[in-house]
């Protein structure tokens, strides 16, 4: 029988990570929950642990993709993950709305192997960027996989580990992780399923820090595109 194993990446998410952990642990569908503390300088690790999570700590900030990959490899080597287990990825900034992610698990169980499930968020409440990274990701995935993704950058995902393990190189692409993962899974023959959730997260705006983040994301997606064309992904 499949276990549902949650990996929750977190970097300086004090005040949110505990709510996300508690929310997910209230779901009868979750069997194991690991918070991947990516070099946080606040009380993220302490808050996650006190809320009931097993915390995987990294002293330095590796970036979401690398931190998740190292955490996955660690738990694989420790025998914590089996091929028929379901891996659920949820971002820490979803806070108490993280419980909505159980709908992704239910959808994957209904669809079965050969699928992966992605969360679609409601329309944002404030203006963010200009959609450059999102549109680049959408057009690339449409051209290379034939699928139209509504939420190509969503980090809330659910997939059987037997399928995910063949896509581990996707975790080398930083902020392009989600695009690389979708590309890799579709190339394996998996079918993406998107589910609209009543889930919220910390929205980015139009200040300098947010634009720099989106710029890095755009460049990482470009790396995915280039490496896919060169046969390195």
Q: Do 185 and 163 form a contact (C-beta atoms < 8 A)?
A: yes
pLDDT in tens, 156-181: 999 999 999 999 999 999 899 999 99
Grouping H, G, I as helix, E, B as strand and the rest as coil, residue 120 is: strand
Residues forming beta bridges with residue 34, ordered by sequence position: 7, 54
* Band of residue 212 on the pLDDT scale cut at 50, 70, 90: confident
Query: Could you tell me the pTM of the whole model?
Result: 0.93
Separation CA 233–CA 225 (nearest Å): 9
pLDDT above 70 as % of the chain: 92
- CATH 3.90.550.10 applies to domain 4-229: yes
Q: How many CB atoms lie within 10 A of CB 122?
A: 10
The CA radius of gyration of the chain, in Å to the nearest whole number, is 16
DSSP-H helix ranges across 33-176: 44-50, 64-77, 102-111, 132-145, 161-164
* Band of residue 123 on the pLDDT scale cut at 50, 70, 90: confident
pLDDT in tens, 73-83: 999 999 999 99
What are the structural domain ranges in the chain? 4-229
DSSP secondary structure letters along 184-216 = HHHHTT-EEEEEE---------SSHHHHHHHHH
Phi/psi of residue 2, nearest 5 degrees: -70, 135
Average pLDDT for the chain: 93
Q: Do 223 and 37 form a contact (C-beta atoms < 8 A)?
A: no
Separation CA 120–CA 154 (nearest Å): 7
Grouping H, G, I as helix, E, B as strand and the rest as coil, residue 227 is: helix
The winner for highest mean pLDDT among 85-99, 195-209, 213-227 is 85-99
Tokens of 180: 């690389």
Q: How high is the pLDDT of residue 166?
A: 93
Q: How high is the pLDDT of residue 2?
A: 87
158's enclosing H/E stretch is strand 157-160
pLDDT in tens, 3-57: 999 999 999 999 999 999 999 999 989 999 999 999 999 999 999 999 999 999 9
Separation CA 19–CA 54 (nearest Å): 15
Separation CA 11–CA 44 (nearest Å): 7
């Amino acid at each position: 029988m499949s276990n549902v194993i949650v990996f929750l990446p977190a970097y300086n998410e004090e005040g949110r990570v505990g709510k996300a952990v508690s929310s997910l642990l209230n779901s009868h569908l979750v069997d194991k929950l690991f918070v991947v503390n990516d070099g946080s300088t606040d009380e993220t690790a302490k808050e996650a642990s006190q809320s009931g999570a097993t915390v995987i700590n990294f002293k330095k900030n590796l970036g979401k993709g690398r931190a998740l990959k190292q955490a996955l490899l660690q738990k694989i080597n420790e025998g914590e993950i089996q091929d028929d287990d379901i891996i659920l990825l949820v971002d820490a900034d979803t806070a108490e709305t993280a419980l909505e992610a159980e709908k992704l698990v239910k959808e994957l169980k209904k669809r079965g192997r050969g699928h992966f499930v992605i969360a679609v968020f409601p329309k944002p409440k404030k203006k963010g960027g200009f959609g450059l990274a999102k549109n680049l990701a959408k057009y690339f995935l449409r051209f290379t996989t034939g699928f139209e993704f509504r939420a190509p950058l969503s980090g809330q995902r659910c997939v059987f580990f037997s399928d995910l393990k063949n896509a581990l190189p996707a975790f080398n692409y930083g902020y392009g992780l989600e695009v690389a993962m979708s590309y890799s899974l579709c190339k394996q023959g998996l079918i993406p399923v998107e589910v609209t959730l009543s889930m919220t997260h910390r929205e980015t705006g139009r200040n300098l820090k947010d634009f720099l983040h989106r710029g890095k994301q755009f460049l990482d997606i470009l790396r995915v595109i280039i490496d896919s064309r060169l046969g390195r992904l």
